Copies of this chain bind each other. A is one copy, B any other.
């Protein structure tokens, strides 16, 4: 067995997968902290905290952090989500100690200097402006607001210009103390890594963290409805979503097989009907997004404003059709084959493997073996998918439409009406 897990006395977990043929290691710290743990006034604090981790510690300036990891040819990065924040590195064999030392330093000893915070606000305001230039990102934020209005799960991960300007160093330290606690943090590494040595190093760096209980999550309460942006773009973007399963829900496997055959690859129903048969768009796909207590199932497509009405009608009909009659066996077979090969392909990448192990521990409290994932996919049936689709379209959709100017609202309502049974 190449996988080992150790839990430190303070509750922090260390997981490794030694991939003997690799000359590099991917490793990182995954924290169960994200946008859904923020109060309204704190909107964007998880993401701002992630940015500020790179802005200097008691021992290293921002420049020294960057120079030290890049001097060994390594890469250091981070990402903030609704429930998790990841800080990770990829380095050559033998440099994982350097990477871990830097990761620990930026997580435990950041300075949060006032002048660095002021500059970083400006950087994030630019990042927000970049998102506002991306209709394919705006449409996700609007859909989330329709799905979870006035709740942390529905607010933008990056925050708003107002909230980003308002957050103080005290707020950052408070959020860090409340959420960056050892029971909610995983060190995960895959590649050229020695488990015992890594554990000793993690113990030395993180062993002094005191266990703290975290506040329970506010349950996400799905609502649905329509949201539009009056901005004009060349293409209009539709995101049509329904309430879907949590990643804890066995229905998530049904959702994934369904998504694959409905709007996954090139052979999926939406790709074949909307792009191949009608030439209505360049890009269309479906996805299932799981959270701790709920989830979403949605379709994203972009087309010219003059063709959006037709696209909406086709997508609505495809939902109705599959809810009424279910998929064919061949479609299910292809979708399962793609999910299974995707699992195998991810196992061959050290970075995907490190992330997968961390997420399994944070979400399920254990590593779910590939054989169990495959078995769960195998039992999904045509009847199960039809019933799943019928439950979806019996609910109220969350619809976002961006880019069609004044027509956006009418198109959003059309999508809402078309998708419902």
Query: Hey, which bits of chain A sit against chain B, CB under 8 A?
Result: 19-24, 54-55, 62-63, 65-67, 69-76, 90-92, 118-127, 129-130, 132-135, 233-235, 265-267, 271-272, 275-283, 302-304, 330, 333-334, 337-342, 344-345, 347-350, 403
Contact = CB atoms under 8 A, between A and B. Distances in A.
A234 B133 contact: yes
A281 B120 CA distance: 10
Given A63-B272, A119-B276, A71 B348 contact: no
A66 B350 contact: no
Given A267-B70, A272-B63, A282-B123, A234 B341 contact: no
A235 B133 contact: yes
A161 B281 CA distance: 15
Given A302-B126, A341-B73, A66 B120 contact: no
Contacts of A334: 67, 70-71
Given A67-B330, A267-B63, A348-B22, A72 B304 contact: no
A342 B73 contact: yes
Given A66-B265, A70-B338, A345 B24 contact: yes
Nearest to A64: B267
A407 to B, nearest CB: 16
State the number of copies, please.
2
Given A19-B21, A75-B338, 11 more contacts: A23-B344, A54-B266, A63-B267, A66-B271, A71-B330, A90-B345, A119-B277, A126-B304, A133-B135, A133-B403, A348-B350
A49 B21 CA distance: 39
A27 to B, nearest CB: 14
In this complex, which of A70, A72, A92, A341 has the most chain B Cβ atoms within 10 angstroms of its Cβ? Answer: A70
Nearest to A283: B130
A340 to B, nearest CB: 6
A73 B340 contact: yes
B129 A304 contact: yes
Contacts of A74: 341
22 contacts: A19-B21, A54-B266, A62-B276, A63-B276, A66-B265, A70-B265, A70-B267, A70-B338, A71-B330, A73-B340, A73-B342, A119-B277, A119-B279, A123-B275, A123-B279, A126-B303, A126-B304, A129-B304, A130-B234, A130-B282, A133-B233, A348-B350
Q: Which of A74, A233, A282, A344 has the most CB of B within 10 A?
A: A282
Q: Which of A90, A135, A276 has the most CB of B within 10 A?
A: A276
Contacts of A304: 125-126, 129
A283 B126 CA distance: 9
A357 B22 CA distance: 19
Contacts of A54: 266
Contacts of A345: 24, 90
A280 B122 contact: yes
